[in-house]
Chains A and B, each alone.
Chain A
């Protein structure tokens, strides 16, 4: 089995985000980490490798900071990590990003499964996985909460995936793209040995030429979406109105009156 996990780096989820007047986004002193959702994809890849053997390759299209995500994945136990980047990849939307990732996966040639996290906690588009699946022509199995069956020889996979109404059970041929979600597993911590391995690893850098990507399909040139403005949402002023009656029953009645007046019931 050759499993590829796509991952990216994001600011920590605790980060206090801000935007300056020029529109530059900052996350203060907070560290860059692996996109937390991707830890589920990495963990699932490792579990599958433990069961069926093979290799797990993590890839990221991104500048040097993307190494944070790749290193974390290696420290968790992945075998190989590849970064794909050129300056011209900057300002990619998911149309362009999915093109680059799909080209890189095609270049590897022998891939059985491509795993994604549900979304990235920065731009939260949820789009990269389904877009890569479409580009590769692989079945798209998003929001998977359980890999129910995998048959590497029969080349099929069966997953349970979340929809609003419940879990859809879907079977598909390999190679396939699986989007993972929380609940599929409990991601492991990085080990001391893993962290040392990650620190010593070589992280090959693939250029656009390496993956045979056309320049006009990447970065801003290859993107359809522009985001001219990022801003802070208006903050809610003040504190909650604390409701206090003589008794709990009275407190409850006062609150109910107020909610009825708000017309939210």
Chain B
């Protein structure tokens, strides 16, 4: 057994996700505290070699690179099989995985494969008396839980997206790249990816640094237009409450909350959203929350840092103008 930290680098069509580098930054910090090394696992299709250098710039000392058609589109079976193999060989103390859809599927599959534990969706990870202690939200963030994996190794953690800072890449760092071969051949993998339907509409909610979100107060599908304009000026993603999604005004992919996405942007602008507890469940950890609502008694004002009590159809276009003036 070593004290090394493994981090899984996830990619889509050869593009790494921010969640991977957040996990890599955390891996670096933990390895520095232990005086050990970080190994990044970069498993993808042909052409992902540049990600190896990128992983090093984000803190890896060593990269295990697998470049193979079977690993191009995400499927949990070949990823878990290869990750399990390299982990068995190197016996790291910790494996970190970003808690994206892919990571959330991979973590528990790897845990079963290695007969160890996986702690999901960590928002903090610290050593206490030599033991890694994870903090994670439960009951939609109404409570927090501290979790440990006292005996089994490796300890697997998935890290909540945007809960850990993405480090500044340092291109002067150097590291060693080792090529590894996939464990499963194509005919040993049960699932076949036959297509992909990309979501239109720009920035992904879970990665977004800024979210402009609209609820029942937008009044209809066309009510999202002023919000889209504001989002465009800010490079923000568009969110929604369940009431608006259920009304069919905007697709479910945009829903924030207990039965939608959990987001944690730097800035969350809630427009015409009352702030029901289930909505709060998905956005309460946002750094700064702005509420725009006609009703001064709306519960969202209890959670928000800044509020404007007025018609969103007056306020949102005015905000768009004001940002345009400032941001040029």
Contacts and interface: CB of A to CB of B under 8 A. Distances in A.
Contact of B267 (A37, A168, A259): A259
B170 interface: no
B249 interface: no
B145 A227 contact: yes
Given A25-B143, A255-B319, A240 B326 contact: no
B207 interface: yes
Main secondary structure of the interface of A (DSSP, over half): mixed
Interface string B246-263: 000000110100111000
B305 interface: yes
A47 interface: no
Contact of B199 (A135, A158, A166): A166
Given A169-B196, A252-B315, A121 B149 contact: no
Contacts of A163: 12, 74, 100-102
B326 A260 contact: yes
B310 interface: yes
Interface of B: 12, 17, 73-77, 80, 100-102, 104-109, 111-113, 115-121, 137-152, 190-199, 204, 206-207, 209-210, 234, 252-253, 255, 258-260, 266-267, 277-278, 287-291, 296, 301-310, 314-315, 318-319, 321-323, 325-327
A264 B318 contact: no
* 3 closest A-B pairs by CB: A224-B117, A240-B307, A127-B108
A123 B75 CA distance: 25
Contacts of A204: none
Contact of B196 (A19, A121, A167, A252): A167
B74 A168 contact: yes
B112 A95 contact: yes
Contacts of A94: 108, 111, 118
B48 to A, nearest CB: 16
A256 B150 CA distance: 48
Interface in A172-189: 172-173, 176, 182-183
B203 to A, nearest CB: 11
Given A229-B146, A248-B310, A224 B151 contact: yes
Contacts, number: 266
A60 interface: no
Contacts of B277: 13-14
B207 A140 contact: no
28 contacts: A13-B278, A25-B139, A121-B258, A124-B138, A125-B120, A133-B76, A140-B191, A142-B76, A143-B105, A163-B12, A163-B100, A165-B199, A166-B197, A168-B193, A169-B193, A170-B75, A171-B194, A172-B192, A225-B147, A227-B146, A227-B148, A230-B144, A232-B143, A249-B318, A252-B319, A255-B290, A259-B290, A265-B267
A123 B146 contact: no
A126 B206 CA distance: 16
A141 B252 contact: no
Contacts of A262: 288
B109 A256 contact: no
Contacts of B80: 134
Contacts of B145: 123, 227, 229-231
B246 to A, nearest CB: 9
A87 interface: no
Contact of A13 (B140, B196, B207): B140
Given A134-B108, A230-B145, A142 B259 contact: no
B77 A140 contact: yes
Contacts of B278: 13-14
Given A13-B258, A130-B108, A170-B192, A239 B267 contact: no
A139 B310 CA distance: 51
Nearest to B242: A182
A75 B234 CA distance: 48
Given A171-B192, A225-B119, A233-B143, A251 B310 contact: yes
B117 A93 contact: yes
A91 B224 CA distance: 46
A166 B310 contact: no
Contacts of B234: 265
Nearest to B192: A171
